[in-house]
Structure 1
Amino acid sequence: MDKQNSSFRWVIFASVIFAYLIMASQRTAPGLITDQLMNDFNVTATTIGLLASIQFFVYTSLQIPMGILVDRYGPNFFLITGAFLTGIGTITYSLSTHEVVLFLARILTGVGDATIWVSLVLILSQWFNAKEFSRLIGVAGMTGSLGFLLATVPFSAFVDSLGWRNSFLSVGVLLCMIGILLYFTLVKKPNQTFLKKQEAQNERTLDLLRRIFSSRQAWALFMCHFGIVGGYIGFIGSWAVPYGMDMYGMSRIDASQLIMISLVGALIGAPLIGWVSSRLEKIKLPYVLFHIIILLCWSTFLLFKGQPPYFLLIILFFTIGFGFGSNSLTFSAVRLSFPVKESGLVSGFANTGGFLSAVLLPSIFGKVLDLFQFSSDNIGYGYFFGFITPVLFSIIGVIGVILLKENWKKSGDL
């Protein structure tokens, strides 16, 4: 089959994007039921923070290894297996009777989730020519934010209607069905291999890893992504809904609307910031600007002792989401700073920085809340001191983007 001229490539695109949409929604969906988990399992805020972090920890730790494995064995096996693992993990989560089972379920989900992005990129590169790929990878990136958006008001209403257990059970079954769909669209129908093996290139991979870990530019990109991703994904995925309910007396659906506002900001910001960067033919200038804006936003929560006026709260959530859209500039800088043969590993390294901060923030935030006993008298102080964490993370991001160099290679050398 001539993949790049086949009309079937659009079926491939639709099925892979749909899988990414549903899998991405499960990164933050558990944050909607934080209070219910604390009540049902009688656990502390620190435990909930660790539970929110574990999926991101697994995802983060597998990014570079997954890139190497997908290159060697092909993306079909890993994407299909990942969909099933995410589904089984989500079903297990819904049936959990003990907090240990909750952790095991999120670990399974994290392993499955770790397969999606690198597999998706390679699949699209195989089925679409370079011009189509450059457009569709942007659509794929926005799909992740749409997945987060799905896990706000729509999923919150689903939880209120069916209960959290039935809601997660339904999504888990859907993900397993998606795994079957992917098998037929990626393997069975186009008569493609399920698992292929290429010659290992261990020496080359080790050399690239050594070069990455000794590169100032790679570490600057790591810090950029660390500073801009963790505050947004880490807070949105764990404490944003409880924050709205505790500090502003919102219902769960109303609090989830805060997340939706932030996600709308991200959906608008990502393509707009990319367009501005392209028009200016600069990456560092807009990236510095948005890193500083995000730092100021998180600092504003401290200025108002954790409870800014409601109208300002809306502006802050939207602006943080909008600024998060600039994280795509990390990978634009990777593409322009490193040869193509190294860009995959460097992208994985930078992405590791972003999701490492997403792992750390929920746990640290939960620990701070526990220090103030999570009572109505002290909860305001707990959130106030909790917001110090995203402020510190943002400072690391600002340092990283300042260290970023713009003396890129010519496009012909990449």
Structure 2
Amino acid sequence: MTKQSSKLRWVIFASVLFTYLFMSSQRTAPGLITDQLMRDFSVTATTIGLVASVQFFIYTALQIPMGLLADKYGPNLLLIIGASLAGIGNIIYSASTHEYFLFFSRVLTGIGDATIWVNMILILNIWFSKKEFTRLIGVSGMTGSLGFLLATVPFSVMIGILGWRGAFLLTGFILCCCSVVLYVLLLKKTKQSTVIRQHSRQEKTFVILKRVFKNRQAWALFFCHFGIVGGYIGFVGSWAVPYMMDVHGMTRLGASQLTMLSLIGALIGAPLIGWFTSNLGTIKRPYIVFHFIVLLCWSAFLLFPEHPPFYLLIVLFFIIGFGFGANSLTFAIVRQTVPMSESGIITGFANTGGFLSAVLLPSTFGYILDFSQTSTNSIVDGYYFGFLIPVLFSIVGIIGVMCIMESNGNRGSDRNREGTQ
């Protein structure tokens, strides 16, 4: 029985998704206790901001190295180690007595988090056929959004019951248990060796990186992901609530509820777009359409010098979230067009583009706000010109997706690709 017809693949898929759910929740969960940390550790908001952001920087910086390691040694051990590090990081976070321990714990969590997406893509690549992969990659993207959702009301309730230390301790314990389950499923059940070399001929890292940086397809995927990810994560995760409070006069609760609508759009969009694309038989054309839709939504903010009417704001936030759900198609194209021996590095390279834009947008948007308030003393004008950033990012994404070369042929049979593990 081949891996792609084994019932074990569904157990593995569910276990990896459960791990991803809790890992992704820890990207934003510390934001729920900012005031408590400042009070308990007697530190400034700047210090807490540094602690919170270090995980994103490490995640972004490690995507390419993680792809290289996954291509050389296989995804199994890396994912197991990553889940362990994320778990240990959360346990240390829960027991911290000094801000240095908080910082160190988020570094460990960031390293662990950096392992999940690239290696999950490779595991799906090995265990599922091309058509199944396109559908399941959408479900995987939805799981990441569910992780953000888990880090809102459910995690707040957990903090209320257990206290913030108890909540992070429990999460760390769950992630450590996930690493044990993954070890049993990926290594023991499949009787794999601890380290699995993807191919016998090992090239120098510099040679591999040089080839990737000269690869037009790799850059197209980088810019494609850059354009569709940054606007959603960068704006919705940082400036959406302040925008609705400052410009539309909404309460924090009302603004948060509208942000939740965008998250619901992403939850619906990811699996639906994956299913639709797998049945359509092409990836590039629908991906171009969703990129254009997202660009039109961001551009709509520029049509209103003051602000869009509230009913339009609801529509825009939902569609932007729904369009963000298409970002998983980047990796469906990797699956279709990139040799298995380089799937990890190209996946990591493309994912770096997405999270680089998510890191750049909040700071750039904030700079425009500060400049506008200094020069015109108008926060409304600041937000208006700030929307130029997601518009420009979206244009970069459209250029990227239009430059992608889509292949209808196979890179080699699934059976042959499975044999590399």
TM-based fold match above 0.5: yes
Whether the 8 Å contact between 1:230 and 1:390 is mirrored in structure 2 is: yes
Task: Name the CA distance, whole Å, in 1 between partners of 2:306 and 2:30.
Answer: 23
Kindly report which structure 2 residues correspond to 1:48-63, keeping only aligned pairs within 5 A, or say none. Answer: 51-63=51-63
For 1:232-279, what per-residue CA distance to the aligned partner results, in whole angstroms no more than 9, with x for missing partners?
122333444555566544345x54433332122123223443455456
What is the CA distance between 1:160 and its match in structure 2?
A: 5.6
2:228: which partner in 1? Answer: 228
- CA-CA distance at 1:94 after TM superposition: 4.4
Query: Gaps (5+ residues) in structure 2?
Result: 413-421
Change (3 A) 1:99 1:368: farther
SS of alignment partner, residue 411 of structure 1: coil
Q: In the alignment, which residue of structure 2 is the partner of 1:347?
A: 347
For 2:153 and 2:408, locate their aligned partners in 1 and report how far apart those are by CA, in whole Å: 45
**Matched residue, 1:86:** 86
Cα distance change of structure 1 residues 326 and 100 upon mapping to structure 2, 3 Å threshold: same
Displacement of 1:96 in angstroms is 5.1
Question: For structure 1, which segment, 142-151 or 332-341, has the greater mean C-alpha deviation from structure 2 after superposition?
Answer: 332-341
AA partner of residue 364 (structure 1) = T
TM-score of the superposed pair, with normalisation by structure 2: 0.79
Q: Post-superposition shift, 1:137? A: 4.2
Q: Contact 1:62–1:114 at 8 Å: present in 2 too? A: yes
Amino acid at match of 2:173: V
Is 1:263 equivalent to 2:257 in the alignment? no
8 Å CA contact retained: 1:94, 1:168 = yes
Q: SS of the residue aligned with 1:27? A: coil
Gaps of 5+ in 1: none
Measure how far apart 1:24 and its partner are: 1.6
CA deviations on 1:30-61 (whole Å, 9 max, x unpaired) are 445567667774324xx666555432322222
Cα RMSD (Å): 3.8
State the alpha-carbon separation in 2 of the partners of residues 33 and 307 from structure 1.
32
Query: Aligned pair in 2 of structure 1 residues 284, 80: CA closer, same or farther (>3 Å)?
Result: closer
Shift of 1:315: 1.6
For 1:325, the equivalent position in structure 2 comes to 325
CA shift, 1:319, in A, is 0.9
Q: Distance in 2 between matches of 1:66 and 1:224?
A: 20
1:317: Cα distance to partner?
A: 1.6
- Judged with a 3 Å threshold, the aligned counterparts in structure 2 of structure 1 residues 6 and 286 are, in CA distance, closer, same or farther, namely closer
Taking the aligned partners of 2:76 and 2:224, their CA distance within structure 1 comes to: 31
Residue 353 of structure 2 aligns to which amino acid in structure 1? G
The amino acid that maps onto 1:250 is T
Q: Secondary structure at the match of 1:203?
A: coil
Q: Is residue 2:111 matched to residue 1:111?
A: yes
CA deviation after TM superposition for structure 1 residue 411, in Å: 0.3
Write the mapping of 1:359-374 to structure 2, written as runs, cut at 5 A: 359-367=359-367
Q: In structure 1, what is the equivalent of residue 68 of structure 2?
A: 68
Structure 1 SS opposite 2:45:
coil
Displacement, 1:228?
0.7
1:335 & 1:233 partners in 2: Cα distance? 24
Q: Which residue of 2 aligns with 1:411?
A: 409
Any conservation in 2 of the 1:86–1:111 contact (CA below 8 Å)?
yes
- Kindly provide the amino acid, as one letter, of the partner of residue 26 in structure 2: Q
After superposition, residues 355-394 of structure 1 pair within 5 angstroms as: 355-367=355-367, 383-394=383-394
In the alignment, the residues of structure 2 paired with residue 129 and residue 185 of structure 1 have an alpha-carbon distance, to the nearest angstrom, of 19
Shift of 1:225: 0.8
Q: 1:384 to 1:122 in 2, by over 3 A?
A: same
Rate the CA distance shift 1:272–1:188 in 2: closer, same or farther, 3 A. closer
- Indicate the SS of the match to 1:57: helix
127-136 vs 321-330, which deviates more? 127-136
Indicate the SS of the match to 1:175: helix
What secondary structure sits across from 2:28 in the alignment? helix
Q: Determine the structure 2 residue equivalent to 1:28.
A: 28
Distance 1:49 1:216, change over 3 A: farther
Q: Distance in 2 between matches of 1:284 and 1:124?
A: 20
Q: 1:108 to 1:272 in 2, by over 3 A?
A: same
Partners of 2:371 and 2:48 lie apart in 1 by 14
Residue 45 of structure 2 aligns with which residue?
43
**Percent identical:** 63
Q: CA deviation at 1:124?
A: 4.1
Output the amino acid matched with 1:43: A
The 8 Å contact of residues 49 and 362 in structure 1, kept in 2 or not, is answered as: no
